[in-house]
Amino acid sequence: MQPVLSLRGITKSFPGVRALNGVQLDLYPGQVTALIGENGAGKSTIVKILTGIYQPEEGTITVDGRETRFPTAQAAGAAGVTAIHQETVLFDELTVAENIFIGHAPRTRLGLIDTARMQAEAARLLASIHADLNPKARLRDLGIASKHLVAIARALSIDARVVIMDEPTAALSHKEIHELYDLVEVLKAQGKAILFISHKFDEIFRIADRFTVFRDGQFVAEGAMAEVREADLVQMMVGRAVDQIYPKRPASIGAPVLTVAGYSHPTEFADIGFTLHRGEILGFYGLVGAGRSEVMQALFGITKPSKGACKIEGQVKVIRTTAEAVAAGIVYVPEDRGKQGAVKGLPIFQNVTLPSLSRTSRAGFLRLAEEFALARDYTARLDLRAASLDQDVGLLSGGNQQKVVIAKWLATRPRVIILDEPTKGIDIGSKAAVHDFMSELAAQGLAVIMVSSEIPEVLGMSDRVIVMREGRIAAEFAGDQMTPENLVRAAVGIEEAA
C-alpha cells in the first residue's frame, strides 16, 4: 500500500537544540499510526512541520508520491492535512456551523455567507460522524467532548485526507473517550490517514494499526501494532528498560511540620484540617473540581482563606501572600506549568534562582557566578536535559520544564513542598525521575504533599491519602486501607457498605 503522506530525512533545529534529526514518518489511508515518544522526542515539532507552522531545514514531504512543501498553514490545509490539538482552537461566541466553516463558508452570488447552506452542510457532516449536535448552537454552551466533535467536523469540512490527533483524549471523561474511539473508526472507514499522538498505552493498543517511535529527535522504529509488545515500545521510547514499580522507599516519619485546622473559603472549600509530618508523602486524591488545588493555593498564599489557621512546626503562621508562604518554608509546584510555573522567555538559571535571589545576591546586587553555581547544583540533582543553563526555559520539553520548577523550589530549602499533578502530561522517563526524586526528598526529611488524579501514582507514592469531595475532606486512608476501590468510592461519594 502506498502512503498518503510520507516524510523522509526531516531535520529541524532551534538555537542550541536539534529538535528533529533526519526522521521519517509514513501515514497510510484508512490506518491509524501512533506516534510514540517521550516529551522532547520531537512529536510536537513534527506536527508543526506537517501543518506548515515550521519549515524543516532538510528532508522531503511527499503527498501521493509527489514531493511538496508546506510553506504556510494554508498550504498544508490545501494538501488535505488537518490537526486536532490538545486544546482545540475554536470560537466560543460563534455557532457550531460557523466554527466548522470559518474561513471557507459557502457563499451566495453576492459574496455573502449562505447561512442556510452552511447549516445544512454542517448537519450533514455532523451526521457523518454520528454527532448529535445542533448546528445553530453556540459553542460556549457545549462541553469539551462536543467541542472536539466540532473540531473533527471542521477537519472533515476541508476534505482532509490526513487527520492529526494530538493527545485528543487528554481532557475527556471515560465515556467521551469511548465515543472518540468510535469516531476514529468512522474516519478510518472513510479512508482517512490518521496520526495519533498519545502517552496512554492502553489507548494506543486499542486503536492504532501502526506505530512510529521517536527518541531525542531521532527516528527509532516503525511497524505494525499487532507485532509489538508494550514492554518493547517502552524500551524503544526510553532506550532502556524502565522500572514500572514506584520507587517508594520506606519512610521514617517524624514530628508534625504543618498543621491545618478549619481552613475554609467562601466558595471553594470548607473545614479542611490535616497534619503533615517530616519525611511523609501525603497524597490528595479526588475528582477534578473537588477543590484540592484551591486548598493548596490557599496554603501557598495565592487565595485567602476566610477562616482557619495553619501552624508550622508549632508556630501559628498567617499566610496572605506567596512571599510569606515561601518565607514560612511552604512551596508549591503548580499544575499549570506553562502559565504558573516556568517563566518562559527567561533562561533556565534565572528561573531556578528566582525565589532565592536574596541568597545569591549581595545588598540587592546580582552575582551571576553564585546564580550559575546554584542552578548547576540543583539542575544536576534533577538530571535536567538542556543545551545550556542560559537557554530559554520555554524551549525545553514539558518534563524538563517541570524539573526546572522543582529545582527552583528545592533551592529555597523548603520545609513543605506541595506538588500539584507533578507528572501530568510528562513522559515516562521524566515521570520516573520525578517520582524517584520525590522519594529521596521525603527520605531526607522534607514533608511532601502530592495532589494527583492518577490512582496508581497516589497509591504508589503516598504514605497516607486524603480524599476530597466537593470542597471537603471525604476520607483519609493509610496502610491496607489504601486501595483503588476505597479511593474511588470516597471521591464519588458512595458510602461503604459496612
Partner 1 sequence: MTSLSTRHIPDRLQSPMTRATRSWEALLLLVAIAIFIANSLASPYFLDPWNLSDASFNFTEKALIAFAMAMLVIAGEIDLSVASIIALCSTVMGAAMMAGVPVWGLVALGLGTGLACGAFNGLLVAGFGLPSIVVTIGTMSLFRGLSFIALGDGAYTGYPAGFAWFGQGYVWWVFSFELVLFVVMALLFSILLHRTNFGRLVYVIGNNATAARFSGVRVDRVRFILFLLTGLMSGIAAICLTSRLGSTRPSIATGFELEVVTMVVLGGVSILGGSGSIPGVVIAALVMGLVTFGLGLLNVPGIVMSIIVGALLIGVIALPRLWAMWRR
Q: Which residues are at the interface with partner 1 (CB under 8 A)?
A: 16, 55, 300, 302, 321-323, 325-327, 332, 334, 339-346, 349-350, 354-355, 357-358, 361, 364-366, 372, 376, 379-381, 383-391, 408, 432-433, 436-437, 440
Cell numbers found for residue 232: 518493547
Cell of 199: 502517552
Give the shortest CB-386-to-partner 1 separation in angstroms.
5
Residue placing its CB nearer to partner 1 in the complex, 345 or 479: 345
| CA–CA separation, 84 and 470 (whole Å) | 32
Residue 424 beta carbon to partner 1: minimum distance, rounded to whole angstroms: 16
Shortest CB 69 distance to partner 1, Å: 12
| Residue 148 vs 292, nearer CB to partner 1 | 292
Please identify, using beta-carbon distances, which residue of 47 and 411 lies nearer to partner 1.
411
Nearer to partner 1, 420 or 457 (CB): 420
For 314-366, give the DSSP string: TEEE---SHHHHHHHTEEEE-S-IIIII--TTSBHHHHHHGGGHHHHSBTTB-
- Residue closer to partner 1 by CB (options 341, 422) is 341
Residue pair 375/353 in contact (Cβ under 8 Å)? The answer is yes
Within 8 A by CB and 6+ apart from 146, the residues are: 131, 133
CB-count exposure of residue 251 (10 Å: 0-12, 13-18, 19+): middle
Q: Of 173 and 321, which CB lies nearer to partner 1 in the complex structure?
A: 321
C-beta separation of 137 from 169 below 8 A: no
User: How far is Cα 264 from Cα 260, in angstroms, rounded to an integer?
Assistant: 11
Q: How far is the CB of 307 from partner 1 (least distance, A)?
A: 23
Place of cell 526524586: 437
Nearest to 70 by CA among 57, 45, 53, 83: 53
Cβ 113 to partner 1, closest distance in Å? 32
CB of 252 to partner 1, least distance (A): 19
Choice between 77 and 355, CB closer to partner 1: 355
Which residue has cell 518493547? Answer: 232
Q: How far is the C-alpha of 4 from the C-alpha of 144, rounded, in Å?
A: 30
